[in-house]
Amino acid sequence: MKLRRALLIGLPVLLAGCTRRPMGYLEGAAGPASIPVQRLGNGFVAIACAVVLIILAMLLLAIANGRRATREQGGVVRSGTHGLAWIYWGIGVSTPVLVAMTLWNFVVTREVSAAPAYLPVDVEITAHRWWWEMRYRATPASDMITTANELVIPTGAPVRLRLTSADVIHDFWVPKLGPKMDMEPGQWNTTWLEADRPGVYFGQCAEYCGLEHAKMGLRVVALGPAQYAAWQRGMRQPAPASATRGAQVFIASCSGCHTVRGTDAGGILGPDLTHVASRGTLAAGLLPNTPAGRLRWLSATQQVKPGAQMPQVALDQADLAAVAGYLGSLR
């Protein structure tokens, strides 16, 4: 337990500190859905820089030549010669480069968009205004896992993502693992990703979805196979029964929106909290999931995420601390 908790909280903090650009996709790509695009992106950026520098050089050369002509001939009006050659050569050289880039683009597009034939992990993700609901498909149905905001996957296994939205259009995007895909209400869009190595990968909603679009973050945690299996077993357990003050206040104040399996809390408006303490962050990537973080979220909800659908719960300090403690026990 302690080891798992240490890993699951320590790992994101550790790795987040290690990655200076957690959302960048031209370095650190970690899977077959993102590495080809990293190569393509770096290549295209290099070509783009080269083109700009070449054109800049041509422009400066042209200006220098034009200035020389002025010094020699004054500002006399005259029709020039050989001007059209610039256009022919320019288009003539640019077009093959453009065609090559187009073909490379198509090769990578095929590679990245075609999911492998067998995807052992299958997750339905429903976007809400400003949080993510994840349901891991399984047979038997009792093995289904419901969680929120943090997608845990095994390394080395392709994961199918079935994306939809409960309200407006959102977009699922974890740059180091794969391309974006819109999440639209009334429709299922399918994509896939795979992580080659363990780590925590940052994501964010990438389609303007209203007030707090900026604060709809996402984490993907890739675990080695053994750890993933252990995580699955833990997630399938219901929460232990608890008679603490925190649990009681939770049932009274929070169960209208949140579910904790194994208790009477069965609300479906907000994220499933059965194993909330196993996640690295709170409020869709906004706060660290530490005692301090949990207390801050409960006591200053609308300050942390103004406009969030979760209202500021009217509880006194003692009760807030109790609930925070209870949440901390839901591993």
Partner 1 sequence: MATIASDLPRDGVVADRGTLAPASPNPPDLAARLEDIWKETPGVRGWFSTVDHKVIGIRYMITAFVFLLVGGLEALTMRVQLAQPDARVLTPEQYNQLFSMHGVTMIFLYALPMLSGFSNYLWPLLLGSRDMAFPRLNALSYWLFLAAGVFLYISFPLGAAPDGGWFDYVPNAGREYSPGPNIDVYALGLIFLGISTTVGSANFVVTLLRMRAPGLSINRLPIIVWGTLTASVANLFAVPAVSLACLMLWLDRNYGTNFFHVQGGGQPLLWQHLFWMFGHPWVYAIVLPAMGLVSDALPVHCRRPLVGYTPVAMGTVFTMVIGFGVWLHHMFASGIPVLALSFFSAASFIITIPSAIAVFAWIATIHTGRVKFTVPFLYFAGFVLLFVMGGVSGILTASLALDWQLTDTYFVVAHLHYVLLGINVFPVIGAIYHWFPKMTGRMLPERLGRWTFATMFIGFNLAFFPMHWLGLTGMPRRVWTYGAQMGWGTANLIVSIGAFLFALGFVLFLLNLWQGLRRGAIAGPNPWDAPTLEWSMSSPPPLYNYAVIPIVASRHPLWEDRLDEVGDRTTFDRGFLLDNGKETLGVSPLDGEPAVILKMPQDSLLPVSLAIALLVLFCALLVHQALLAGIALLALLVVLVMWFQPHPSPIESERVRMYE
Site for partner 1 in 88-117 (CB under 8 A): 89-91, 94-95, 98, 101-102, 105-106, 108-113
Residues 299-318 that bind partner 1 (CB under 8 A): 306-307
Does the footprint of partner 1 cover residue 52 (CB under 8 A)?
Answer: yes
Does the footprint of partner 1 cover residue 186 (CB under 8 A)?
Answer: yes
Does the footprint of partner 1 cover residue 120 (CB under 8 A)?
Answer: no
Does the footprint of partner 1 cover residue 133 (CB under 8 A)?
Answer: no
Nearer to partner 1, 122 or 167 (CB): 167
Q: Which among 45-53, 226-234, 257-265, 317-325 is the span making contact with partner 1, rule CB under 8 A? A: 45-53
Q: Which among 73-81, 226-234, 238-246, 255-263 is the span making contact with partner 1, rule CB under 8 A? A: 73-81
Does the footprint of partner 1 cover residue 207 (CB under 8 A)?
Answer: yes
Q: Which residues, 6+ apart, have CB-to-CB distance to 40 below 8 Å?
A: 104, 105, 108
Does the footprint of partner 1 cover residue 23 (CB under 8 A)?
Answer: yes
- Cβ-defined contacts of 132-140 (< 8 Å, 24+): 132/172, 132/216, 132/218, 132/284, 133/166, 133/271, 133/272
Residue 167's alpha-carbon distances to 37, 185, 215, 285, in angstroms, are 30, 6, 17, 20
- To partner 1, the closest distance from the beta carbon of 157 in angstroms equals 22
Query: Which helix (H) or strand (E) segment is 162 a member of?
Result: strand 159-165
**Contacting residue, 18, 67, 143, 268, with partner 1 by CB under 8 A:** 67
Residues 217-246 that bind partner 1 (CB under 8 A): 217
Nearer to partner 1, 163 or 247 (CB): 163
Does the footprint of partner 1 cover residue 26 (CB under 8 A)?
Answer: yes
In the chain, the amino acid numbered 95 is: T
What ranges in the chain are assigned the alpha helix state H? 2-5, 11-18, 35-73, 83-113, 225-236, 245-253, 291-299, 301-304, 317-328
d(CA 150, CA 320): 24
d(CA 109, CA 94): 22
- To partner 1, the closest distance from the beta carbon of 123 in angstroms equals 16
- To partner 1, the closest distance from the beta carbon of 286 in angstroms equals 8
Residues 267-296 that bind partner 1 (CB under 8 A): 286
Query: Which helix (H) or strand (E) segment is 151 a member of?
Result: strand 150-154
What angle is formed at CA 180 by the lines to CA 174 and CA 186, rounded to 5 degrees? 115
Does the footprint of partner 1 cover residue 211 (CB under 8 A)?
Answer: yes
Query: Which helix (H) or strand (E) segment is 159 a member of?
Result: strand 159-165
Does the footprint of partner 1 cover residue 69 (CB under 8 A)?
Answer: yes
